[in-house]
Structure 1
Amino acid sequence: MPPSMEIAVLLLGVLGLEMRWSASALHIQQAFASPNLTNNFVVDPVSRKVYLATVNTVYQLNGTLSVEVEKRTGPVEDNLLCHAPQLPQAPCEHPKSLTDNYNKLLKLDREQGVVVVCGSVYQGFCELRRMGNISEIAVEFPPQGEKTVFPSMLNIAANHPNASTVGLIFKSHGGNTRLLVGTTYTGAGTQFFPKNHSKEDLRFENTPEIAIRSLNIKDLSRLFTYDINPSEDNVFKIKQEVKTKNKLNFVHAFIQKTYSYIAFNNDAKMGHKESQPNSILARICLDSDSPRKTTGPESRKLTESYIQMPLQCGSTGNIYNRLLSVYPAEVHAEGGWEPYLFGVFSKADRKAALCAFKFGDIEEEIRQGRRNCSNSPSSDVQVLDSVIQGSGAVCIQKGNLVLQPEQLDCGAAHLQHPLALRRSLKALPLFEYPALSSVSVDTVHNHAVVFLGTSNGRLHKVRHTAMALRNLDFPSSRSEKRKECLLRLEFCLGTSELAAEVQFSE
C-alpha cells in the first residue's frame, strides 16, 4: 500500500471535513507534494501543524500544507550489522555505505513538547525533535558523555524498509509518559551472530516484538528503556528459535477505554490454508490515567494482561484473511453511541472488503476466554508458549475459582501468561471492492461516513446509517444496494502527495 494513500485517508478524519451534502464532486483545497515516498504523519490538534515524515526527510507544515520547516534525516553511513553509532562502546568493523532512512514511527507528545521520530537506520534509532520546530533536537539522547548506554535503549523501530512498526504514547497514572511499540522481527542480521554470543550482540534482532518503554524526558537514564520495573515485565518477546515461525506484521496500535489494542498479521501462517484467517487483534491493559486496582505503584506485567484473538472478515469460501488497516470509531445506534472497530481486509487476488466489529463483542470474548482458561481445559483458548515471559503454563481447572471483573479483563496473578483465543470473531463484509488499502471513519448527523483509500490512489466514501450498522450480517442479496452508497471519486494523489481540507461543493 502506498503510504501516502493511508496518510491522505487518515488526514481526512483528523483534520475534519466541512460536510455539505450534495451530489457534486469533492474539491482539493490544499495539497503538498514531496519528492520522496511518504511514510507517516501526525497532526497537532491545537496548532493545526502537520508533521510529515518521508524517506530521508521530515517536514513541518502549517494548516494549509505550506512548508514551515524541512529537515533531512538521510541517507546516512550505515550497515545492518553495525550497532548504532550512539553506542560508544561498540565500534563497527563492517564497511558502511549510504543508506536511506525510512521513517518507521512519528508520534506527537504535546505535554512534553516533543515529536518522536524513529527511522530504519542505526538499528531503528529514535530522536526527540522539538514540537514547533522539527529541525531541532529537543532532547540530546544519549546525553553527551553518557557511558551507560545499552542497545535496548537505541534499537526501537524496525531496521528494514519493508518491516512494520506501530506505536502509541500514553500516560501512566503515576504521571510518567510511556511509549508502546510493536515492531516486526526482520532477521536481517541473525545469521551473522553465533548463538553463544551475548544478547547484546544481536543488535535489533533481540528487540521485543512488543514493548512498553519509558518516555519521560526528565529521566534520561531510563529513556526508551522497558526496564521500568526491576525486571523486564513490560515486553512481549518471542523466543529466538521460533521467531521465524511467528513473524508478526503490525498494522496499527490504538487506545480504546483504558486498553491498548494492537492489530497485526501473523505472516508465518501465510502459504498454509488461505481460508484460515491470520489477522490478529491483541489487547494489553494500560496503567493509564483511569487506573484499575493494582498491586503496586507500577503497571502489571504486560504478558499478564496480554490476550489476542483472530478476526475473520467474510464467511466460508469467501474469507478476506489479511488485515490492511483498522480504525476505531463510535457509531450512533439505537440507545446511543456504540464503539466499533472498522477494518479493511484483502485476499490473494487483490479483492478487498470492509468489515466492522463491536468492541462489546471483543470485550465479552476476552472475558469468556479467561473464564474458560481458569475453570477448565478448553480448546477455545491457549497459552502462548512461543513467548519468553510467562511461558510454560497451560489452561487448567482452578476448582471453583470465580474471577472478578478486573481479572476477567486484565488477567490475574495466578495466570501470568499471554493467552490466545482460537475462535475467530467474525463479521460479514459491509462493502467489497478491489484494491482497498486503508480506512478512516467520521460521523456526520448520526451517520457513519467511511472513507476508503485504494492502492491505486482513489478515495471512496461509503455512507451507512445507524440502522445498517446495527445489523452487520447483511445477506448477500443486498450487496448491490450497498454499492449504491458508494460515491466514486477521482483523487489527485500520487505516491508523494498529501491532500487536506477536502470539501463538498455547494
Structure 2
Amino acid sequence: MPPGTVCCLSAWTVQTLRCLVLVTVGWPLFPAFRGVAGGSDSSHSDLYPTFMGNNTAFEHLALHPDPQVGWVYIGARDRLFQLNPLLQLRVQDDTGPVTDSPECLPPVTESNCPQARETSNHNKLLLVDPFSRELITCGSVNQGICQKRNLTSINQVLFSTERPVDTQYVAANHPNVSTVGLVVRPHPDRQPLLFVGRGYTSSHPPISTRNLAQEPIFSYEETAKLAVAGRLSEYDHHFVASFAHRHHVYFFFYRRDLKSQSREYRTYVSRVCLDDQAYYSYVEVPLTCRSRAGKNYNLLQAVKLGFSKSGARSEASEILLGVFSTHLTSSPRPSEDSALCIFNLQDVDRRINSTRDLCYTQMGREAGSEAAYIEYEVKSNCANLPEVSPTLRHVVSGFMVNSAEFNPQLA
C-alpha cells in the first residue's frame, strides 16, 4: 500500500470496550482557550496576578520551557504578548490587521489581489520549540504561514518566508477553522519536527509533518502528509488537540463518516509513529461517548491524558479524559448538551494494533466479515501478508498504513 493510505474498522465489527460517562444536560461546553480580556473582580486581582488587554481576543497560551524563567506567551487576534511570571507585560508585537484575502497567495499586493481588504490576523498556532528555544507563531492571514520568533523577545522575528510556496501554508486561513500542532524530536540526534492538524479550507492535507531546520522551512516536501485522494471537503475535519506520547503522535478530531448512510460527524483519535517519514503507520480510531440511555455524544470538545489512580504512573493507569457534546440539528456545531468520557489508553492502542494486523494479514476481514477498509478514497486494498512473530511485528509496525475504529460503550 502506498504512503498515506488508511484502514478503518467497520462499525458492525467493533468489539465493545468500557468507559465511564458522566452526563450533564445543559452544561455549556467550554471552547478552546479563547476570551476577551477585560476587568476583573478586585478581590480576585488582589489575590492573583492579572493581565488585561482591552478589546483583545485571547486565542492561545504557551509557557517558556524553563520554569525558572516563567515567561508567558499569549497569541491573540492581531497581537502577541510576552509576560513575566507576575503577568506583567514585557513585550507586545502587533501582527494585524493586514491587507489580505483568502483568495490570494502571498505576497498580497494591490495589483495581484484587488479584492484584498484590511483583515484581522487570528493566532492559529502558538508553540514553543524547546529544542531550538524558539517561539512558533502561525496566523490566519497570508494563507496561514508561520514565523519563528525569539523566546527572549518575541518582537524579534528569526524566520519568515517572503515568497512561500503552497507546501509552506501551515494553518487554516479562516478564523473559525481549527488548527492544532506540536513540536517533537523523533530521536535525540535528529532535528525537531512540527506536526500539524488543520481543518478544511482548501486542498491542503489535514495532517502533515513540517521541517523546522532544513529548507524549505515549514514545508512538508521532504517529510510526510496524510494522503486524501478526493472529497476532502466532504470529510470536513475539525481538530481538537494533539500530543506526543512515548513513540507516537496522537491527533483528536471529528469529521464526517462517509461510510455510513447518515454521513454523520464522529470523533476520531489517530496515531502515527514518531519517526515515520511516510505515514505508513497512520491509524484512525473513532471514539464513541454514549450514555446509559444510549444517547450519543459524538463531538469531542476537549481531551487530556491523565492517570486513573493518584500517584500511579504506569501504562495500565493511563487514561484519556474527553469532554463530548451532541451536535445541533443539521450542523457540526456542538450543542450545550455534554458528557465526560474516560478511555483507557492501552485499550485504544490495542484496538489500533489489532486493526493493523487484520489489514495486513487477513485482507481486512474477521470471522468472514469486513473488519478493515481503506479510507479517504485512496486506491489500495488490505493485504494478506503472512503473520509474523510479535517481535518482528513490532519492528515493522512503523511501515504499516492503517486506521481503526474504536467504539466503547458505557460501563
- TM more than 0.5: yes
Equivalent in the alignment of 2:12? none
Instruction: Tell me whether 1:167 sits opposite 2:146 in the alignment.
Output: no
**Structure 1: how far apart are the matches of 2:272 and 2:313?**
27
Query: Once the 2 structures are TM-superposed, how far is the Cα of residue 267 of structure 1 from its aligned partner?
Result: 4.5
Instruction: Tell me whether 1:37 sits opposite 2:57 in the alignment.
Output: yes
CA contact (8 A) 2:131 2:192 kept: no
CA-to-aligned-CA distance 1:312-368 (integer Å, 9 cap, x gap): 112462221110011112332797542111110011352111111111111111111
3-state SS of 2:384 partner: coil
CA contact (8 A) 1:4 1:37 kept: no
Instruction: Tell me whether 1:321 sits opposite 2:312 in the alignment.
Output: no
Instruction: Tell me whether 1:213 sits opposite 2:207 in the alignment.
Output: no
CA contact (8 A) 1:355 1:427 kept: no
> What letter is aligned with 2:299?
R
The one of 91, 94, 107 equivalent to 2:114 is 94
> What letter is aligned with 2:205?
P
Return closer, same or farther for 1:278/1:76 CA change in 2, 3 Å cut-off. same
Question: TM-score, normalization: structure 2?
Answer: 0.78
CA-to-aligned-CA distance 1:159-193 (integer Å, 9 cap, x gap): 0011010000011324211001111111xxxxxxx
**Structure 2: how far apart are the matches of 1:278 and 1:28?**
43
Moved segments of 4+, more than 6 Å: 268-272
> What letter is aligned with 2:371?
D
3-state SS of 2:351 partner: helix
Query: Once the 2 structures are TM-superposed, how far is the Cα of residue 5 of structure 1 from its aligned partner?
Result: 5.7
Equivalent in the alignment of 2:191? 176
Equivalent in the alignment of 2:85? 63
Query: Once the 2 structures are TM-superposed, how far is the Cα of residue 158 of structure 1 from its aligned partner?
Result: 0.3
> What letter is aligned with 1:247?
D
The one of 286, 290, 293 equivalent to 1:310 is 286
**Structure 2: how far apart are the matches of 1:163 and 1:344?**
19
Return closer, same or farther for 1:91/1:421 CA change in 2, 3 Å cut-off. farther
**Structure 2: how far apart are the matches of 1:212 and 1:66?**
35
The one of 399, 403, 410 equivalent to 1:420 is 403
**Structure 1: how far apart are the matches of 2:267 and 2:123?**
24
Query: Which gives a bigger RCO, structure 1 or 2 (Cα 8 Å, sep 6+)?
Result: 2
Count of residues in correspondence between the two structures: 357
Equivalent in the alignment of 2:249? 260
Return closer, same or farther for 1:244/1:410 CA change in 2, 3 Å cut-off. farther
Equivalent in the alignment of 1:458? none
CA-to-aligned-CA distance 1:367-399 (integer Å, 9 cap, x gap): 11112112223233222243xxxx32222433x
- How much identity, in percent, do the aligned residues show? 26
CA-to-aligned-CA distance 1:286-329 (integer Å, 9 cap, x gap): 12xxxxxxxxxxx4411x11001010112462221110011112
**Structure 1: how far apart are the matches of 2:312 and 2:100?**
57
CA-to-aligned-CA distance 1:210-243 (integer Å, 9 cap, x gap): 1101111xx3x321121225xxxx001323x411
**Structure 1: how far apart are the matches of 2:142 and 2:36?**
25
CA contact (8 A) 1:340 1:356 kept: yes
3-state SS of 1:33 partner: coil
Equivalent in the alignment of 1:452? none
> What letter is aligned with 1:321?
N
**Structure 2: how far apart are the matches of 1:151 and 1:208?**
11
Return closer, same or farther for 1:68/1:256 CA change in 2, 3 Å cut-off. same
Instruction: Tell me whether 1:285 sits opposite 2:273 in the alignment.
Output: yes
**Structure 2: how far apart are the matches of 1:352 and 1:26?**
31
Instruction: Tell me whether 1:397 sits opposite 2:384 in the alignment.
Output: yes
**Structure 2: how far apart are the matches of 1:42 and 1:224?**
20
Q: Which runs of 5+ in 2 are unaligned?
A: 1-29, 38-43, 328-334
Question: What RMSD in Å do the two structures reach over aligned CA positions?
Answer: 3.1
**Structure 1: how far apart are the matches of 2:103 and 2:247?**
39
3-state SS of 1:250 partner: strand
The one of 373, 378, 388 equivalent to 1:382 is 373
**Structure 1: how far apart are the matches of 2:321 and 2:45?**
23
3-state SS of 2:155 partner: strand
Instruction: Tell me whether 1:108 sits opposite 2:138 in the alignment.
Output: no
CA contact (8 A) 2:241 2:251 kept: yes
